[in-house]
C-alpha cells in the first residue's frame, strides 16, 4: 500500500508563506479575522432580513412545475445538510484532534483483516453517505491508503447504527431485508477495497485537486501542538471542505430534483412485480431519489406492497453508495473512471443480491 503522507515528517515548507495568502491563522484574532467576521455578520443579518421580509409573499410566483422542482431540490439540501455537517465535524476530529497514530496503532497489518475492521468503523461513526465523503477524505489525509478509505466510504452508510436501526424499524426481520442489506454492504465494501488495493499508484485514483491537497497537507501544520493552532486548523478545514462539498451538494440535489419533476413515478411502478425488472426499477429509483441511507428504509417501506423483497434489498444496498447526489459529492475526491468502476461493481453485486433474495424469499 502507498501512504500518502507520513504524519511524523517535519513540516517541510508547510509553515512558509503560500502564494499571496501569506499570513497564517497562528495568532487569532488578527485584524483580517475581525474584518472578515464583521463582513460575515453583516451578510448574515442581510440574509435573515431578506428571508423574513420575503417569507410572507403569496404563492404562485413561479409556475407549478418550476416551484415543485425548487421545493424538491431544497428539500434534498435541507435534509442532507445536517448529515454533511456531522460528517465534517467528525472529519475535523479525526484529522486535527486525534493523534496521528490513533488508527495505525491498533488496526491489523494484514490488508484483508484491516479492511474488514475498517469497514466496521461505521458502527462507531453514524454518518450517512453525504457525511462520510468528508470523513473518508479526512481519513485519506490522515494516512489511510485510498483503497482503505474506500472500504470505509462504502461500508459506513450501511453498516452504521442509525441505518441498521431505521431499517429494523421499517422491516424487522421480514424477508431477510435487514440481514441482506448489512451483509451486502459489508461484502461490497471489502470487495472494492480489495480491488483497489491492487492498484500500485493510489494517487491515480484521486481527483487531481484533492491529491494535491493531500500532498500539501502532509507537511501542513495540523500536527502542531496547542489548542489555538488546532482550532485554527479546524476552521481552515471546515472552510475548505464546505467550499468543495456544498456546491457539489447543490448541483447533485438540483439534478435529482429535476429528474423527479420530469419522470413519472408510474414508469417505475409498472415494473415492480417482475423479479428482474423490480430490481432494475428500484435501483433506478434509488439512483434518482438520492436520499440519505439513515432514512431510506422509511422511504422504501411503502413500496413493500408492490415490489418484491429483492428489489427493496437492491435499493437499500445500491442507493447509499451510488446515486446522483453521491456521485457529484464523490467527484470532489475520486477520478471519474473510478466512479464508473465503482458504480458498475456496486450495481452488479446489488443486482445479484436482489436476485438471490427474490429466489429465496
Partner 1 sequence: MSRDLLARLASRWQGVALTLVIGSGTLWLAATGQLVLYIHPRYVVFTVVMIVVGMLLSLLALALGGGDDAAQDHGHDHGPRPRRRLRGALTAAGAVVTVGLALGLILLPPATLSSSTASTRGLGEGVAVAGPAAGGAGGGAGAGAAGAPAASDAATAKYTVLQWATTLRQTSDLSFYENKRVDVTGFVSPSPTDPADTFIVTRFVITCCAVDAQPVGVTVYAPNWRSSLKPDQWVRITGAFTANPSRTSTASIALVPRSLTPVARPADPYLT
For the segment 76-135, give every residue that binds partner 1 (CB under 8 A).
76-79, 81-83, 85-86, 88-89
Distance CA 134, CA 239 (A): 12
**C-alpha closest to that of 232 among 97, 84, 333:** 97
- For partner 1, what does the binding mask look like between residues 285 and 324, x meaning CB under 8 A? ----xxxx--xx-xx-xxxxxx------------------
Written as nine digits, the cell of 335 is: 477520478
Q: Does 7 bind partner 1 (CB under 8 A)?
A: no
Q: Does 232 bind partner 1 (CB under 8 A)?
A: yes
Burial 182-205 (b: 16+ CB within 10 A, else e): bbbbbebbbbbbeebbebeebbeb
Distance CA 273, CA 76 (A): 28
Q: Which of 1, 7, 11, 67 binds partner 1 (CB under 8 A)?
A: 67
Distance CA 120, CA 161 (A): 11
Q: Does 52 bind partner 1 (CB under 8 A)?
A: yes
Q: Which of 95, 163, 202, 260 binds partner 1 (CB under 8 A)?
A: 260
Please count the other Cβ atoms lying within 10 Å of the Cβ belonging to residue 242.
15
Among the residue ranges 94-102, 108-116, 250-258, 275-283, the one whose residues contact partner 1 (CB under 8 A): 250-258
Contacts with 105 (C-beta within 8 Å, 6 or more apart), sequence order: none
Residue 115 or 137 with smaller CB distance to partner 1 = 137
Q: Which of 146, 205, 256, 353 binds partner 1 (CB under 8 A)?
A: 256
Residue 105 or 243 with smaller CB distance to partner 1 = 243
- In the range 190-219, which residues lie near partner 1 by CB under 8 A? 208-209, 211-213, 215-217
**C-alpha closest to that of 252 among 344, 341, 322, 343:** 322
Taking the complex as a whole, the smallest distance from the CB of residue 39 to partner 1 amounts, in Å, to: 7
Output the CA torsion sign for 303, 309, 315, 321. Answer: positive
Q: Does 242 bind partner 1 (CB under 8 A)?
A: yes
Taking the complex as a whole, the smallest distance from the CB of residue 331 to partner 1 amounts, in Å, to: 11
DSSP calls for 220-235 = SGGG--SHHHHHHHHH
Among the residue ranges 93-101, 152-160, 180-188, 244-252, the one whose residues contact partner 1 (CB under 8 A): 244-252
Q: Does 36 bind partner 1 (CB under 8 A)?
A: yes
Among the residue ranges 31-39, 98-106, 188-196, 316-324, the one whose residues contact partner 1 (CB under 8 A): 31-39
**β-strand partners of 206:** 334
Written as nine digits, the cell of 336 is: 471519474
Q: Does 265 bind partner 1 (CB under 8 A)?
A: yes
Amino acid at each position: 500500500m502507498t501512504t500518502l503522507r507520513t504524519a511524523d515528517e517535519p513540516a517541510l515548507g508547510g509553515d512558509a508563506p503560500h502564494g499571496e495568502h501569506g499570513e497564517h491563522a497562528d495568532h487569532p484574532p488578527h485584524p483580517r479575522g475581525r474584518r472578515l467576521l464583521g463582513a460575515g455578520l453583516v451578510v448574515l443579518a442581510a440574509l435573515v432580513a431578506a428571508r423574513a421580509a420575503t417569507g410572507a409573499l403569496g404563492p404562485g410566483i413561479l409556475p407549478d412545475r418550476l416551484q415543485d422542482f425548487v421545493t424538491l431540490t431544497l428539500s434534498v439540501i435541507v435534509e442532507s445538510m445536517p448529515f454533511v455537517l456531522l460528517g465534517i465535524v467528525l472529519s475535523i476530529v479525526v484529522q486535527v484532534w486525534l493523534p496521528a497514530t490513533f488508527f495505525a496503532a491498533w488496526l491489523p497489518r494484514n490488508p484483508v483483516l484491516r479492511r474488514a475492521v475498517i469497514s466496521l468503523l461505521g458502527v462507531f461513526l453514524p454518518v450517512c453517505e453525504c457525511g462520510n465523503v468528508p470523513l473518508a477524505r479526512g481519513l485519506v489525509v490522515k494516512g489511510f491508503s485510498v483503497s482503505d478509505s474506500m472500504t470505509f466510504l462504502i461500508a459506513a452508510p450501511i453498516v452504521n447504527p442509525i441505518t441498521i436501526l431505521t431499517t429494523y424499524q421499517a422491516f424487522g426481520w421480514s424477508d431477510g431485508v435487514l440481514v441482506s442489506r448489512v451483509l451486502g454492504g459489508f461484502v461490497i465494501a471489502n470487495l472494492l477495497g480489495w480491488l483497489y488495493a491492487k492498484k500500485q499508484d493510489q494517487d491515480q485514483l484521486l481527483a487531481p485537486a484533492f491529491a494535491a491537497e493531500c500532498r500539501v497537507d502532509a507537511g501542513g501544520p495540523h500536527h502542531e501542538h496547542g489548542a489555538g493552532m488546532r482550532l485554527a486548523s479546524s476552521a481552515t478545514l471546515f472552510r475548505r471542505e464546505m467550499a468543495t462539498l456544498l456546491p457539489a451538494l447543490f448541483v447533485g440535489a438540483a439534478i435529482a430534483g429535476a429528474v423527479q419533476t420530469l419522470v413519472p413515478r408510474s414508469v417505475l411502478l409498472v415494473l415492480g412485480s417482475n423479479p428482474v425488472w423490480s430490481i432494475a426499477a428500484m435501483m433506478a429509483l434509488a439512483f434518482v431519489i438520492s436520499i440519505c441511507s439513515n432514512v431510506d428504509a422509511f422511504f422504501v417501506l411503502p413500496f413493500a406492497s408492490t415490489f418484491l423483497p429483492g428489489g427493496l434489498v437492491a435499493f437499500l444496498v445500491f442507493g447509499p453508495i451510488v446515486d446522483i447526489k453521491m456521485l457529484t459529492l464523490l467527484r470532489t475526491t475520486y477520478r471519474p473512471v473510478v466512479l464508473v468502476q465503482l458504480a458498475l461493481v456496486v450495481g452488479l453485486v446489488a443486482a445479484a443480491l436482489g436476485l438471490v433474495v427474490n429466489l429465496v424469499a
